[in-house]
Amino acid sequence: MKSPLKLYFLPYISPGHMIPLSEMARLFANQGHHVTIITTTSNATLLQKYTTATLSLHLIPLPTKEAGLPDGLENFISVNDLETAGKLYYALSLLQPVIEEFITSNPPDCIVSDMFYPWTADLASQLQVPRMVFHAACIFAMCMKESMRGPDAPHLKVSSDYELFEVKGLPDPVFMTRAQLPDYVRTPNGYTQLMEMWREAEKKSYGVMVNNFYELDPAYTEHYSKIMGHKVWNIGPAAQILHRGSGDKIERVHKAVVGENQCLSWLDTKEPNSVFYVCFGSAIRFPDDQLYEIASALESSGAQFIWAVLGKDSDNSDSNSDSEWLPAGFEEKMKETGRGMIIRGWAPQVLILDHPSVGGFMTHCGWNSTIEGVSAGVGMVTWPLYAEQFYNEKLITQVLKIGVEAGVEEWNLWVDVGRKLVKREKIEAAIRAVMGEAGVEMRRKAKELSVKAKKAVQDGGSSHRNLMALIEDLQRIRDDKMSKVAN
């Protein structure tokens, strides 16, 4: 039996990156390998629950004072403006030499790094160990990004931001508009240069690790491997492996503001596939006028629902002005009739989605939420906002055909979401399309994918086989290196 590997995992300091990579670290630790997650002091509170006998945290103080940040602000979940984001980026850059010194003085057998740390590619090369890149996005989105590169990119050939174009060279016909592309794709800027730097670092790496399962988008896994010249390892959905008990599903990022019993007892009274769940991830705080449109659409749709709303909890200064974002008597009426539940703050999303009464999910199309929706087998209403979320929308609606679009027309920075209102009529129509008769086929396809996701993570499933094959590869590389040193 080969000796255990020593692996360092370096997650980015944002929940959408940190949680899935830490869950993947647990997969390696559960196989008996020695795993260290390198993170900052305040982020340890998010990750402490992942520690085991073979998984530890190495904590490095973030120089917040030098960057002009308040003590304890060490995660992008706490950032609401570009100035603070810039300071946090700067503080993070100051950690590079500290992390390099730690890794160099205690070399691992492999570095598993978020894509946002391109310098780990050269560090791994110096240490003669493989570097695995972790993408918080799916491979379909990475293929879309590749299709938007170069002088022949399809968005350069349209005459307006709202003219539909086909993304060429993909295994399926995919259509979108220029307005739905990130600003750094439409008009090259400093971030575009960073993207190229991350891409070059990836090409130097051993391979890519993704929180997905092969059966979801097999043609895109092969397509991307061919473009980039290295293997893609789908070893997820990690949450399906690690969070099988209801207690595990309650608290993944922050403690949920409602308990397991409160959620489950309400859901248990509902018919299968009758509840519509609305949640926009860990960072989205819509303006009141957009929340009002969502509430109005939920009311007129007739659907039973759970709606998780950030920024409207009791600690928020605007919490008393419900009339600004809810129709008169809305919440009271929903409680009295048992039609709806509003969760003001963090919701136990996986617990809710996995309940058999839930049949639909309105999502911002962040990859973690998307793969959780797929794993739960629910139809989706897509409401992308920023990052690669419009790409994920096209996967859901055009390739997998398990969702419908809410009608969002423009990509925005996360600080500018809701700038262009999506009206209640569009939202209601999308809810009815997913939850009504028209959504039966959509939900059937979603259930099929859910079964495939669960099979993938079982012993002998594709994700389990990929994990074991990657471990074998890394052990072989380590043993070959040791043999050369010995000779």
196 is an annotated ligand-binding site residue? no
Q: Coil, strand, or helix at residue 384?
A: coil
Question: CA 109, 113, 117: angle at the middle one, nearest 5?
Answer: 130
Please tell me whether 282 is known to bind a ligand: yes
* Residue 163 known to bind ligand: no
Helices (H), 204-281: 218-228, 238-242, 246-250, 260-267
Catalytic site residue from 33, 34, 114, 464: 114
Task: Count Cα neighbours of 120 within 13 Å in the Cβ-side half-sphere.
Answer: 32
66 is in an annotated binding site: no
Contact 344, 309 (CB under 8 A): yes
Strand locations in 107-206, DSSP E? 110-114, 131-135, 164-166, 175-177
Residue 357 annotated as binding site:
no
3-state percent helix, strand, coil for the chain, nearest multiple of 5: 50, 15, 35
Secondary structure string (H, E, C) spanning 322-365: HHHCCCCCHHHHHHHHCCEEEEECCCCHHHHHCCCCEEEEEECC
| Active-site residue, 155 included | no
Please name which of 47, 36, 40, 207 lies closest in space to residue 115, comparing C-alpha atoms. Answer: 207
Q: Is-contact 108 124, C-beta < 8 A?
A: no
Residue 293 annotated as binding site:
no
17 is catalytic: yes
The residues near 402 (Cβ < 8 Å, ≥ 6 apart) are 374, 379, 380, 396, 442, 443, 445, 446, 449
Phi and psi at 9, nearest 5°, equal: -110, 130
Q: Is 314 within any annotated ligand binding site? A: no
The rounded distance, in Å, linking the Cα atoms of 186 and 127 is: 38
Q: Which pair of tokens denotes residue 88?
A: 């946090």
Is 325 part of any known ligand binding site?
A: no
* Residues placed in the known binding site: 282, 346-347, 364, 368-369, 372, 386
* Residues placed in the known binding site for UDP: 282, 346-347, 364, 368-369, 372, 386
**Residues with catalytic function:** 17, 114
